[in-house]
Amino acid sequence: MTDCRGREIDYLRISVTDRCNLRCVYCMPESGVAWTDHHQILSYEEIERLVRIFAGLGISRVRLTGGEPLVRKDLSELVARLKGVPGIRWVGLTTNGVLLEEQLPALTAAGLDAVNLSLDTLDRDQYRAIARRDGLEAALRGLNRARAVPGLTVKINCVPTGANRDQWVCLAGMAQAGPPLDVRFIELMPIGLGRGMDRREEGEVLAALEAAFGPARVCPEKRGGGPARYVTFPGFAGRVGFISAVSHQFCGSCNRVRLTAGGLLKTCLQYDAALDLKALLRNGAEDWELSARIREAVYRKPAGHHFGGGRTPGDEKHNMNEIGG
């Protein structure tokens, strides 16, 4: 499936819930959150039906996100359903890891291919300040258990800000020893609560890491299906990646679209425009109609975002937990 600029779209991120067991400062308010009603969230059956249609259009990679996807009951059931869809060759999960240790056996038995664990600090007090909940020990237990699963790809995602600057080297250092682990630094998106926060860019992070580990060597090989650029340092078993949507815009090679928990298809994170697939599903649309509407929406995918260029009418106004991380 290609858009009007010739980009091949083969990657679908699916938010299964807007709920979360943490309250990270850049993602959602600490209290007073207006949750989406359960009956307004796509069912597993609806998600599977949509993924079958997406697969018929060329989507081959699916990532499950939230909120926190593991707070939704029986997520392993959905993983198994999606792994059984013809054309879907890879299913990954992005999680804060707090519930991962308990659920990992069922997830891997269902065929999960990869886990990205969001972790901004290894300091307990700092973790509590950023996440506004305890959970570091549980997240690290989940991480260690995931790293021990043969064949499971495991990555750490860190959002670099002024608040966790002293942790960048510690987190990157987790890629030194085996089993191999990639640590990625993902620039904070100026969306929702993240707008106006103390975002730090790739150049500053890389300079701090080179001061600690020596000159970085660019890794030319493709790693995964996303936009991360990777480097390695002397003696590292794993890699350090950067997803820098603001300082190193990669819209020209964007290969993804997003499905929110409420059934909205978003073709660009910047804008609030979306196709309401849930409404089509629940109003009796047939598969051919859904396929045609999806193809049309993807064809009109915007050329790119304008993060850093000021707000304009039509910009996304929701927090990240509502959109899908």
Does some domain include residue 176? yes
Where does the chain have alpha helices with state H?
44-56, 75-83, 100-109, 124-131, 136-147, 168-172, 202-213, 277-282, 287-299, 320-323
**What is the β-pairing status of strands 256-259 and 264-266?**
antiparallel
Per-residue model confidence as pLDDT tens digits over 143-182: 999 999 999 999 999 999 989 999 999 999 999 987 889 9
For the entire predicted model, the pTM comes to: 0.91
Confidence of residue 313 (pLDDT cuts 50, 70, 90): very low
Check whether 245 has a pLDDT greater than 90.
Answer: no
- Domain residues for 39? 11-323
The average pLDDT across 266-295 equals: 93
Does some domain include residue 3? no
Per-residue model confidence as pLDDT tens digits over 11-48: 999 999 999 999 888 887 777 677 788 899 999 999 99
Q: Are 295 and 303 in contact (CB under 8 A)?
A: no
Does some domain include residue 1? no
Does some domain include residue 5? no
Does some domain include residue 135? yes
Confidence of residue 132 (pLDDT cuts 50, 70, 90): very high
Tokens 């969306």: give the residue: 191
Query: What is the helix, strand, coil percentage profile of the chain, to 5?
Result: 35, 20, 50
Model pLDDT, residue 320: 55
Residue 69, SS3?
Answer: helix
Could you tell me which residue, 256 or 223, shows the higher pLDDT? 256
Model pLDDT, residue 14: 98
Check whether 209 has a pLDDT greater than 80.
Answer: yes
Confidence of residue 253 (pLDDT cuts 50, 70, 90): confident
* Lowest-confidence pick of 30-34, 132-136, 235-239: 30-34
Does some domain include residue 285? yes
Does some domain include residue 69? yes
Give the chain's domain count. 1
Q: Supply the mean pLDDT for the chain.
A: 89
Domain CATH code at residue 138:
3.20.20.70
Check whether 247 has a pLDDT greater than 60.
Answer: yes
Model pLDDT, residue 315: 46
- Closest alpha carbon to 18 in 264, 239, 217: 264
Confidence of residue 60 (pLDDT cuts 50, 70, 90): very high
16: which 2 tokens?
Answer: 């299964």
Does some domain include residue 127? yes
